[in-house]
Amino acid sequence: MKVPVLAYRIRQHTEESMFVPRWGLLLFTAVILLIVVITTTVVLFNDDNTKPKFSEERDVQKKQLHGLHTPINSKDVTSPSLLSSSLSSSLSSSLATTMLQNMSTPEGGEEPAKVIPQQNLNFQKLLAGNYILDILSLLKHKINDRTICNACLLLSGVLIQYGKNYTPQDLRELLCTICVDFQIQNEEVCVGLIDIYLDTVIYILSNTKGLTSSRICGIIFQEYGCSQDDENLEWTVDVDFGSKPKSNRNYNRIDVKNAEVLTIIQITDIHYDPMYMPNGNAECGEPMCCRRTQGKPGNPDTAAGYWGDYRSCDIPWQAVQNTLHQIKGNHEKIDYIYMTGDIVDHGIWDTSIKKNTESIKNLLTVLKTEFPNTPVYPVLGNHESSPVNLFAPHNIDNKKVSTNWLYELSAELWTYWLPPETKETILQGGFYTVLVRPGFRIIALNSNLGYTANWWLIYDLKDQDGQLKWLAETLLQAEKNSEKVHILSHMPSGYNTCLKTWSREFHKIIHRFEATITAQFNGHTHNDHFYIYYATDEPTRANNIAFNGGSVTPFSDLNPNYKSYKMDSATYNILDSETWIYNLTKANMNGNATPTWVKMYSFKEAYGVESLSPTSLDKLLQNMATNRSLLEQYSRYYVKEADTALAKGCDRECLKKNLCEIVTAQMGEPTQCNILLKKIQTAGENNFNLVRS
């Protein structure tokens, strides 16, 4: 995801891995941490150093929006009664000075501290508008990670100390003004996001005991290496794992006749948009485009396709229906369907309980219709909630901020496929377990409870809703019963926005029960890839695998896909996987004619591996480290051979990133990545650059 920015996250081609506007983050922290919702969640597709561009038609629509919401008076918002009453001159000066000291000096340019004279470093005046152009000019300089963290620590401290002095309406007007005037987004998006998030932010800040700046910044800006000083950030899952048995996993199928091969279909990240309009505006300048409310395209090249679009657009309903028809018609016998989250679209400024409920119900209804006799095992994605990403502890019953509506809806709809006893934990936190057949169990997690974009972690940091403890206890009982387990979740445990502590404790559980867990399945990234887990006490021994299902949505620069797996019914090991796609360019050239689905690849055939065991895939990985051609093949599959992504290419650093991602199953743990990079270095960079299979 992209926004007009100066710095960026390393991950590419994924839904959540976006370019982050550091000047936007500073603006946010300079007023209230709520702006981070806009700047770290909003999805734009502009060039790195450009602002959003609006057509004349969109500018007219933008002006018309002033009549749709409470009028925002910038003079009132920036008055001393709101800004200056809480911030002393010394604190304001300290804030501005800290910000300037941590800005990187642009090459050949003046030092930021020299651009604004010292006597003008009164942040009250800057925010009041006297020096808006100066501060905006400064914020366009490249800002380092230290700036983000220092500004967050300082300003969240101000927020904690003085935030209660402001009324919700004061905060709303202030935030809306800053968001619009600083062109973070247009008014519709700014007002929509702020109205959706404000109640939750106020509740968390008002009710969190012992709240510190370190906790806020250590969670929200974890990936920037912000302070981890708050003792609450460090915790462990308190459970007796018992003694670990020797792993006895067998990937060699001795008697094919006596072991049935089962078929699993994984569908993930559908993100269907009820507002999608073929031939709509695919370059609208908003977080998501191709919607019927966004005007006409400027020219034929910016018109949305009938079956979806490579740009910042989700997928139309006809494409969802076609995907399910394809799955049903292409696979004679489907034993299980794993649906690993994110039904709802990316219109994050326009969500509501009512709209999200309707989208979820529509999708699950058509699943029941298409596959009336096939068990479906769903999990919650971060977009199912409203506001997006926010999952409150189940004991929060304030209806303005509670997530219980989603847990109650899930318990009601999912029990079409699940036994009644799963309701208890679904209502507790959106997770459950099912004994699918004797000897085979599924555990479905709500990984959003370990997601740094879930601001409720600030309020309840330690193993929210007791999910990880429950996971360990469930696996311990499965081990005693000689059961094999598949774990389903939305977000990969090594993802850069997975809370470090949560990821570490999860990894410990996977290591302990490696003999019981035969596979994991997740989504969230929208890419086709996999993760290898390694033993905590033997860093070179692979002991588990997680398969990512890609996405049905093409958002962004991707082809729609689903995956099928073959599973050994004797061992419950995954024998092979296939990825099925349709090419958006070809599909849209044929108008409303049915797209042609093709098998992009079979894992065993494409990579020539003996099996999909952790050991076998580790051997493949080691081969990739010295065989660029093989890694390039993996990287093509990673973006599902989307035309726009292939045109952008994947250079040496991109290839290394893709390689390291495979072994990053624990957030912030670089051991395996460093081993691979050292192997590349030992073999010689030229060797990595030139070797072709």
Residue 570 near residue 25, CB atoms below 8 Å: no
User: What is the SS3 assignment for 534?
Assistant: strand
Residue 87 near residue 158, CB atoms below 8 Å: yes
In a domain, 305, yes or no: no
- Residue range 130-167, pLDDT digits in tens: 333 344 344 434 456 677 787 777 777 777 776 667 78
Backbone angles phi and psi of 511, in degrees to 5: -60, -45
User: Residue 26 has what pLDDT?
Assistant: 37
> CA 243 → CA 441, 468, 482, 501, distances in Å?
21, 18, 15, 23
User: Residue 96 has what pLDDT?
Assistant: 52
Q: Sort residue 545 into left (φ over 0), alpha (ψ -120 to 50) or beta.
A: beta
Residue ranges of the alpha helices (H) in 337-422?
A: 353-370, 404-414
Q: Which residue has the higher pLDDT, 27 or 34?
A: 34
Supply the mean pLDDT for the chain: 81
Strand duo 517-522 + 542-548: pairing: parallel
User: Residue 131 has what pLDDT?
Assistant: 37
Q: Facing residues of 517 across strands?
A: 485
User: Residue 14 has what pLDDT?
Assistant: 33
Query: Annotated binding residue at 689?
Result: no
What range does the domain containing 100 cover? 7-184
User: Residue 577 has what pLDDT?
Assistant: 98
Strand duo 261-267 + 19-20: pairing: unpaired
CA gap 6, 142 in Å, rounded: 6
User: Residue 152 has what pLDDT?
Assistant: 77
Query: Annotated binding residue at 490?
Result: yes
CA gap 189, 596 in Å, rounded: 36
For range 371-382, the mean pLDDT: 98
Query: Annotated binding residue at 229?
Result: no
CA gap 127, 84 in Å, rounded: 10
Residue 436 near residue 482, CB atoms below 8 Å: no
Residue 503 near residue 667, CB atoms below 8 Å: yes
User: What is the SS3 assignment for 323?
Assistant: helix
Query: Annotated binding residue at 170?
Result: no
Instruction: Find, among 206, 224, 167, the residue nearest to 8 by Cα.
Output: 224
In a domain, 297, yes or no: no
- Residue range 65-91, pLDDT digits in tens: 333 333 333 333 333 333 333 433 444
In a domain, 243, yes or no: no
Query: Annotated binding residue at 524?
Result: yes
> CA 277 → CA 280, 295, 314, 556, 587, distances in Å?
5, 10, 10, 17, 16
User: Residue 133 has what pLDDT?
Assistant: 37
User: Residue 549 has what pLDDT?
Assistant: 99
110 pLDDT higher than 80:
no
Burial class (CB within 10 angstroms; exposed 0-12, middle 13-18, buried 19+) of 168:
exposed
Q: Which residue has the higher pLDDT, 33 or 429?
A: 429
Strand duo 542-548 + 574-581: pairing: unpaired
Q: Which two tokens stand for residue 680?
A: 């590349």
Q: Which residue has the higher pLDDT, 26 or 218?
A: 218
Query: Annotated binding residue at 269?
Result: yes
In a domain, 460, yes or no: no
In a domain, 163, yes or no: yes
403 pLDDT higher than 70:
yes
User: Residue 208 has what pLDDT?
Assistant: 92
User: Residue 40 has what pLDDT?
Assistant: 42
In a domain, 29, yes or no: yes
647 confidence band (pLDDT: 50, 70, 90): very high
Q: Which residue has the higher pLDDT, 45 or 543?
A: 543
Q: What percent of the chain has pLDDT over 70?
A: 75
- Residue range 460-496, pLDDT digits in tens: 989 999 999 999 999 999 999 999 999 999 999 999 9
Burial class (CB within 10 angstroms; exposed 0-12, middle 13-18, buried 19+) of 633:
middle
In a domain, 120, yes or no: yes
181 pLDDT higher than 50:
yes
For range 99-117, the mean pLDDT: 46
User: Which residue matches tokens 């073999």?
Assistant: 683
Non-local CB neighbours of 425 within 8 Å, separated by 6+ positions: 431, 432, 433, 470
Q: What's the pTM value of the predicted model, to 2 decimals?
A: 0.84
687 confidence band (pLDDT: 50, 70, 90): low
- Residue range 209-242, pLDDT digits in tens: 888 888 988 998 888 888 777 888 899 998 888 7
**What is the full DSSP assignment across 275-309?**
TB-TTSBS--SSSS--BTTS---SSGGGBPPSS--
Q: What's the start-to-end Cα distance of the chain, in Å? A: 33
For range 169-193, the mean pLDDT: 82
120 pLDDT higher than 90:
no
User: Which residue matches tokens 């007796």?
Assistant: 240
Domain count, the chain: 1
Query: Annotated binding residue at 342?
Result: yes
Q: What percent of the chain has pLDDT over 90?
A: 61
User: Residue 240 has what pLDDT?
Assistant: 80
Backbone angles phi and psi of 54, in degrees to 5: -115, 140
> CA 426 → CA 249, 378, 434, 469, 638, distances in Å?
31, 11, 12, 15, 32
User: Residue 686 has what pLDDT?
Assistant: 60
CA 168 distance to own-chain centroid: 29
CA gap 197, 194 in Å, rounded: 5
- Residue range 288-311, pLDDT digits in tens: 999 999 999 999 999 999 999 999
**What is the full DSSP assignment across 331-351?**
-S---EEEE-S--S-S-GGG-
Q: Give, for 547, the enclosing helix (H) or strand (E).
A: strand 542-548
> CA 117 → CA 44, 91, 111, 521, distances in Å?
34, 17, 11, 55
Cα dihedral 621, 623, 624, 630 sign? negative
In a domain, 646, yes or no: no
Backbone angles phi and psi of 558, in degrees to 5: -140, 155
CA gap 42, 575 in Å, rounded: 39
